[in-house]
Amino acid sequence: MRKISDTIARLAALQARHAVHPADLGASDHLRTLGDFGTNPGGLGAKFYIPNDLSKGAALVVVLHGCTQNAGGYNHHSGWSQLADEAGFALLFPEQQRSNNPNLCFNWFQPGDTKRGSGEALSIRQMIETIVVTRGLDRRRIFITGLSAGGAMAAAMLATYPEVFAGGALIAGLPYGSAMTIPEAFDRMRGHGGRSEQDLQRALRGASDHQGPWPRISIWHGAADHTVSPSNAEAIAGQWRGVHRLEKEPTRREVAGSHAKQVWRNGSGEALIEINMIAGMGHGTPLGSGLGAPGPYMLDVGVASTREIAQFWGIAATEVDASRKSRQQVPASQRPLRRSPAPSMQNARPKPPQPTVIHQFPRHTELGQPRVKKVIENALRAAGLMR
């Protein structure tokens, strides 16, 4: 373990570097606040976005911002609400508070915040339950993604509550259980002293008593990332290959420009794990194709990771399908020749039956009403998420 003086020096350097990039990223925030969602032991905030006329039983995507960022800024730059309007799904944005972490990082390296039933992990689980119940969303189609510390926290949620999620996407993240202190966190970020693949697989299996089926995992990293070493991408894949019972060698490799992809499929041909490595890209979320907007740690590299992640999960159309839909309003004589759309991946992972929801709210119920708060608390207690 490094000396405390070295750790303090690293923290000071990190704060100085992040001071250049304000948390709001210069973006306006059109998200709504989720007020009451349980005991909130992690002291997090929560925001959400529901597209107009969203159908009942829609999917939910949980989005975790990175250090120095906030929910509204990350949403604006990543394009998630833009895609939600197009594809028809709901969004939930857990939001870190400076009282928990001065750099607004989710505390992915603190055991008390990454253990099932405690800290920030339980807060996120409570807000998921609240938005699913109050908005009538599909429990079989809940997904989670995050950047950097948010990616590492998403990894913790996938490990501690695997029965909740159909899939996850980790961008410049780290494996679950790879660090338990701040010095360890800095070392793992640099790719130093990581746990063995077997130890990481044991940590994943020990995070809950879940026996499967398991979430499918999309991993994204810049090959020139000097903040979180790209070696963490391989470590994440190795951690999840164990529960999915996949071989070390990927089923398929492909390269398109700067974008290199490895895919692991099961015997039925379903893609369960993928690594997306972007050549020449540093630390951040890959953007492209007009979805989202560049900013600090939001990098226009011509690859729209937001859309490709949603396609991997099976909740968004390919760009060809989206283009075809937009052309439906154009007179036929003015349309270009049609091409056969590429098939979108379907989320074929079966989910076990979920407990019956105790109460379903009207779509536009205000969450702050006393009666609603009481019913939410009852629902959380029934789900074992609140005493």
Residues assigned a catalytic role:
148
- DSSP per position, 119-162: HHHHHHHHHHHHHHHHHT--TT-EEEEEETHHHHHHHHHHHH-T
Which position has the token pair 């700067």? 258
Task: Take residue 103 and report the two structure tokens written for it.
Answer: 């750099």
DSSP, collapsed to helix, strand or coil, labels residue 90 as strand
Contact 376, 130 (CB under 8 A): yes
Q: In sequence order, which ranges of the chain are alpha helices (DSSP H)? A: 4-18, 71-78, 80-87, 119-135, 149-160, 182-189, 197-206, 231-244, 305-313, 319-326, 370-382
Contact 355, 24 (CB under 8 A): no
Contact 242, 214 (CB under 8 A): no
Tell me the C-alpha distance between 67 and 148, whole Å. Answer: 7
The side-by-side arrangement of strands in the sheet containing 259-265 is 32-33, 45-49, 90-95, 60-64, 142-147, 167-171, 216-222, 271-278, 259-265, 252-256
The terminus-to-terminus CA distance of the chain in angstroms comes to 38
Tell me the C-alpha distance between 229 and 175, whole Å. Answer: 12
**DSSP 8-state code for residue 49:** E
**Measured at the alpha carbon of residue 276, what is the angle toward residues 275 and 278, in degrees to the nearest 5?**
145
Task: Verify cis geometry, omega within 30 degrees of 0, for the bond prior to 213.
Answer: yes
Helix orientation angle between 4-18 and 182-189, rounded to the nearest 10 degrees: 60
